Structure 1
């Protein structure tokens, strides 16, 4: 069991540094709204990962192939990211307002839901987890207890690394003027637009371009 945990931790660490929309939104949220806000958003992201893991575990190789044959799912998620990115770009001016620290429970819930949806709309994340289970499962003898231990350790390492990222991002708050926050949001919006366009393009690629081997590279793109 310890060997499974030791193998999972480096993967969780690398997963936390996979560059995608969630990566940038998390840092921006922590820097502008504080630690608790960043954590609430991140917990929503992790919940989406857990849901995808459950779906992946109870599905099969055939589901992965079916997803590859449904380009509309990529286009749908890409359009949502594209619209979200455009909205972020055009609403990035603060016009005299200071960044607000989140204090209300409803705000935390909203950030939690935002994190969940931001991760959930990316079908590439599900493809990634399906690919990981297909690759890792045999090495764990497909034993449920070992699989649960492995992915629990992986997500635990991922969440721990994200907490460290949130703490580091929070330290930047003192240096964030209104103008700089506006610039950060515009950069974030551009990143989301690019990620959305990439997903849309993937939706129009030939089916052989969405093979299992390449599917595990689709996380948070």
Structure 2
């Protein structure tokens, strides 16, 4: 079991630094709204990951077949990210008084949690990622449910702890932020979201063979035999 935890820690660390929409929005939230706000946002992201892992584990074979037969799922998630990115990019910036701490209400915390959850959950690529991890890691853990729970718990814990350090570092950037820099950051994040959305949409229109979906199905069949 200790070996499973040791194997999960490097993956959790790398996962925390995977460049995507969540990565940039987390840093922005920490820098502009503070550590607690970013923590709530990140909890929403983690909950979405846990749901994806459970879905991938209990229905991996059927999900891979559905993804190969319904590439429209990529297009759907990509369009949502694209629209959200365009809205973020073109939304007029509000001039902020950075000399005063930004107040975050209880309602803001709820919206941040939902934002983190949905931003991760609508990205079908995240589900594909967890499917791939389970397909690769499952056999090395003897497909033992207890070992799999320990492995993914350690992986997500490492991911979460690493994100906490990222939030603390991002918070220090607040001292150097100006209204113009905030607008620049928001436009940059909007552009990242647009690019991620276009990538997902492109995946929906390209042959699914390019993403090894069929190889994944064959791998599951081999494992079950």
- For structure 1, the residue ranges without an aligned partner over 5 or more in a row are 216-221
Q: What is the TM-score normalised by the length of structure 2?
A: 0.91
| Distance in 1, Cα, partners of 2:69 & 2:42 | 30
- Cα–Cα, structure 1 residues 4 and 200, in superposed 2: closer, same or farther, change >3 Å? same
Report the equivalent of 2:146: 145
Report the equivalent of 1:8: 8
Q: Give yes or no for contact 1:45–1:119 (8 Å, CA) kept in 2.
A: yes
Deviations along 1:95-150, one digit per CA (max 9) or x if unpaired, are x3336624311111110000000000011111111111111111111111100000
Report the equivalent of 1:64: 64
Q: What is the TM-score normalised by the length of structure 1?
A: 0.92
Specify the SS of the correspondent of 1:129. helix
| Displacement after TM superposition at 1:185 (Å) | 0.3
Q: Give yes or no for contact 2:38–2:167 (8 Å, CA) kept in 1.
A: yes
| Distance in 1, Cα, partners of 2:68 & 2:102 | 41
Q: Give yes or no for contact 1:137–1:147 (8 Å, CA) kept in 2.
A: yes
Q: Which moved more, 1:40-49 or 1:201-210?
A: 201-210
- Cα–Cα, structure 1 residues 151 and 212, in superposed 2: closer, same or farther, change >3 Å? same
Deviations along 1:167-211, one digit per CA (max 9) or x if unpaired, are 110000111111110010011111111111111111100121121
Instruction: Report matched runs for 1:108-187 at 5 Å.
Output: 108-187=109-188
Report the equivalent of 2:40: 40
Specify the SS of the correspondent of 1:171. helix
